[in-house]
Amino acid sequence: MAASPCFSLAARCSLLLTAALVLALSHGAHGYGGASAGLSSSFYDDSCPSARDIVRRVIQNARVADPRIPASLIRLHFHDCFVQGCDGSLLLDNDLPAIQTEKEVPANDRSAHGFDVVDSIKHALENACPGIVSCADILALASEISVELAGGPRWSVPLGRRDGTTTNVESANNLPSPFDSLQTLQEKFRNLALDDTDLVALQGAHTFGRAQCQFTQQNCSAGQDGETLVNLDTVTPDVFDNKYYGNLLHGRAPLPSDQVMLSDPAAAATTAPIVHRFSGSQKDFFKNFAASMVKMGNISPLTGRAGEIRNNCRRVNKKPY
């Protein structure tokens, strides 16, 4: 039997209200998860289709001069997302009293690198697509491209983040530390809805790059300056692979916070089985690393009309300079 005009109108109204609610939720300022966060891998397909190629080209050029750059860029993304979500707050310079930079907290001071490469990426993107690609998305794209260039997995990066206009030094002071216990690491990850598999997978980013010797288990050799760099993976220091987990199994992880995933008494029932899995299967590691990177990248993004698209990643737009 055909529906009455009144029923049809009510049904249409209900559908419109439902659609409006879904749209509003998907464009909320904060949230975990891909769709609910309002992010999409095709976000720039129309507005800046060359975005990924531009980011890749700048990173390729930068790593010729400094092989550490890929590892440095993924670390920036990690330290950005863990503070107040993936909003590019880490990239902001001091502009007191309004902005106190996160770059000077212990976890970043004189150890976080790659900011000049982010500047170069932003400059190139602004030339191609002015005011379109956020600094927060630059970090997300740069991380995936850096891993791929170093021999690691590729994944589809959800995009559409906007840039924050504040920093959070108090939260930045609580970033994961090279000296954290396993329990502390697990708590810091759980606070961001990241589980033990995410912890072990994301720590796997230490399969390439360098660290200052003062942060390592062996500390520094006699006469070495505390900021002397040592390879995080002594086997393949510039390659993204699963050799890192083999180092853990042999007690050769430079960072104490890495080795605790195997040596801590609580590890046997939590992280150690995952370390063994990833050591035995690079494919398994790559798959889980990519999934955990997407999960981390979805931590409290600014979307819709929240935040802004910075013209310069080091400062907010509204300030007169």
144 is in an annotated binding site: no
Q: Which residues of 58-86 are buried (b: 16+ CB within 10 A; e: fewer)?
A: bbeebbeeeebbbbbbbbbbbbbbbbbbb
233 is in an annotated binding site: yes
Q: State the catalytic residues.
A: 79
226 is in an annotated binding site: no
Which of 52, 31, 30 has its CA nearest to residue 41?
52
Helix (H) / strand (E) element for 310: namely none
Residue 42 burial (CB < 10 Å; 0-12/13-18/19+)? exposed
34 is in an annotated binding site: no
241 is in an annotated binding site: yes
Tokens 């609610």 belong to: 21
Joined tokens for residue 253 = 């992880």
Joined tokens for residue 108 = 């970043």
**Contact 152/293 with Cβ under 8 angstroms?**
no
**Contact 236/243 with Cβ under 8 angstroms?**
yes
Parallel/antiparallel/unpaired status of strands 229-231 and 210-212:
antiparallel
Joined tokens for residue 282 = 């690079």
176 is in an annotated binding site: yes
The per-residue DSSP string of 274-307 comes to: HHHHHHH-HHHHHHHHHHHHHHHHTSS-B-TTSS
φ, ψ at 165 (rounded to 5°): -115, 10
- Residue 69: partners with Cβ closer than 8 Å, 6 or more residues away: 59, 62, 63, 113, 114, 117, 146
165 is in an annotated binding site: no
130 is in an annotated binding site: no
169 is in an annotated binding site: no
236 is in an annotated binding site: yes
113 is in an annotated binding site: no
Give residue 313's region: left, alpha or beta (phi > 0; psi -120 to 50): alpha
198 is in an annotated binding site: no
Q: For residue 102, what is the DSSP state?
A: S
**Contact 117/161 with Cβ under 8 angstroms?**
no
Annotated binding site: 80, 83, 85, 87, 89, 102, 176, 206-207, 233, 236, 241
